[in-house]
Structure 1
Amino acid sequence: MDELMIKIDNVTKEYRLGAIGGTTLREELQRARAKRKHQEDPTLKIGQTRADSNERFMALNGVSFEVKKGEAVGIIGHNGAGKSTLLKLVTRITAPTTGDIYLNGRVASMLEVGTGFHPELTGRENVYLNGAILGMTKKEIDAKMEDIIEFSEVRQFIDTPVKRYSSGMYVKLAFSVAAHLDSEIMIMDEVLAVGDVAFQNKCIKKMREVADSGRTILYVSHNMSTIRSLCDRCIVLSKGQVIFQGEVEEAISHYVTKDFALTNEINLGEQQRPYSTTELCHMTKMTLDNADAVYDMGDVLGFSLEWTAKQTFERMKMRIGIFTVSQMAVGITFSQEFPVKKGNNKQKFSIDISKLLPGKYCLELIMTEVDNAGMLVKHDVLNRDVIMFEVQATEEKKVFRASNASWGFYELPEIICLNSD
């Protein structure tokens, strides 16, 4: 039986809103005086309201899961789902309202930039401080000091007070300390986003080595590529509850599509644009040809698109990108050139999706004009998650179930065997 390292058993965390004002003494006295006289709160801005001190908020509500030795488990979810609250409970920064948390071993954590560092101490002194907190002797820390300094890439500043470090230097040293000092459980919030790309890749590789060595990792991130690179499985949180735990790709799909239902018709007029364009065209409606937005392998996806234009165009093109629901690019294609009239327009299009493997996909739509120099000018852009459709396997065409998760998203043609010389 695998050794149990973390057990979260029906944990809840409740906060009382408005209980601590977070304001000055003068404002609190003004507020108390106004309350006695049944007047409006003089410290609030126009239109602002203050939470009732008796109002409760459940940051976590009945969370339960287990983590075995050597596992690297990702925790994902939208902002406010309860991810950081959960990590603070596991690291005992705060206590749960109800429920039990079992930890089998020492915990090294990095929940935010500079956690556990004293700003007046040097980098080297903070390494000793963190090691002592974990119960290590000076001799044990000395044995690892050179590896920590080398990995952190801050050798030149290791004897400088950390209050003079940049946020990137903080992260590099903090991660190096957490990864190299003796602990059975390593907990990381998404602080690696502060570091440069090369160091992030270096950290992911190191965390994978740490997990392979038998240590346990709990990792929170919004970056799905790092979740894929590091984690063995995932837990998805939503509004303080676990809505899924299991295989990484399936967890990411739950996370991305939770509030994204299959539909064949969508209003594009009010959708937010990712960046500004000429605004000479504005897409207003998209309708798929399949009522349930589900297609069989081998199908062609047809759709109609409506838009308004402020002037006529002779050479317009649609650029269409296909992405997985976890935002991985599958490919892009362009339509043939077509004219656009001033005012309301409607055009039908079709895309050959016959080689897409089973799974859920999203479309990106970009209206581009071919100018006199042959350059493409963007007039309207709807980015990546305009509408979702699903491709399914048929009885006649069965495929390996995990193909679109592990081996890509496109069905390659059969290999041709050639005669050898």
Structure 2
Amino acid sequence: MSSTLDRPTASAATTTPEVAAQAAKPPAEPRPHLLGLEGLLSDAEREVSRTVAAFVDAEVRPHVAEWFENAHFPREIMPRLGELGLLGMHLSEQGCPGRSAVEYGLAALELEAGDSGLRTAVSVQGSLAMSAIAKHGSAEQKAQWLPGMAAGRIIGCFGLTEPTAGSDPGSMKTHARRDGAGERADWVLTGAKRWIGLASIADVAVIWAATDEGVRGFLVPTDTPGFTATPIPAKLSMRASVQCDLAFDEVRLPADALLPGARGLSGPFSCLNEARYGISWGVLGAARDSYLEALRYSLERQQFGRPLAGYQLTQKKLADMAVGIEKGWLLALHLGRLKDAGSLAPHQISVGKLDNTRTAIEICREARTVLGGNGITLDHAALRHANNLESVRTYEGTDEVHTLVIGQRITGIPAFR
């Protein structure tokens, strides 16, 4: 299988003989793994990267610019992702693949090298919706939903954020009340959510609501009367993806819609941490794709009689990008090893999500400068990646929130209010 890490080559027709000779005989592994980091992976981990990279090359790259331009997410890709074992791949419940955290991270990186919207869809499905059911659902709920979700036949979404409650989910207005007496009484759900991924194409929604018992989670089939999902239009970011406004107008749910294992905000937060971990890896895919594109372009593009790659300023840009990717990759791998060992702490996830995301944005923006004016078109990926990462930087905790998580760990003083 081909890999998106295949070395770019310079065209002999557009480069000097010296540069062409150097490009024809590159160092063993110059880009981006300057340090030979692939040697830190097992054979199984490398195979995950190769398999997902080949899928992205064959089924995403030829179409993603058109998807982005037309604000289209291809729902039909979800069963293909299921066939590859990428939906809930780190879960073991009900026949889910049960792959390691590192393998999941490597898959996220390769998916986001295609587009952040694709990695986001896998995250919403697996790390959020499926994770909520696996962690907090009953045996019956797991059996009902997880097999179909793992196969991509059933699409899920995860509703926590509200129009006025983003970084402060404890202030949510969505409410669920019991209608009747006893544990078998129905629940009635009212309220609204915003920025909910996959919601307009989902079959089931995991909705978090305030109740007299604290925050609880509910499984809401999206064809339930009173449930409405409306795609958010005119986005400048994540256009090859789906984010929605949700409205709940007296949505009546049976008693067994309640996720029995989740009480309080620790329920949704445990799922958010799964998604944040995946982001620490995924954003490096967008950064690497932008870097490799800038590298290829700089070797081929002639200015003042020589390729851009032959100028010191361009080489500084490329070197900074490559080093940033290396450092981010080492951080993500360390977090993955900790997660597989069962010792990954939330503040450590915040370090990865915060720093790798802002590093990735800087790399994508810098890559666009190497591409010049051509870089603002969808013929090139760097600006598309940079625009997408503005959303990734905001969701699953803003820079400010993750900074304060780290600050609290350092000082012992919570400073959120």
- For Structure 1 versus Structure 2, the TM-score category normalised by the shorter chain is under 0.3
Which is greater in Rg? Answer: 1
Pick the structure with more strand per residue. 1
TM-score (norm 2): 0.26
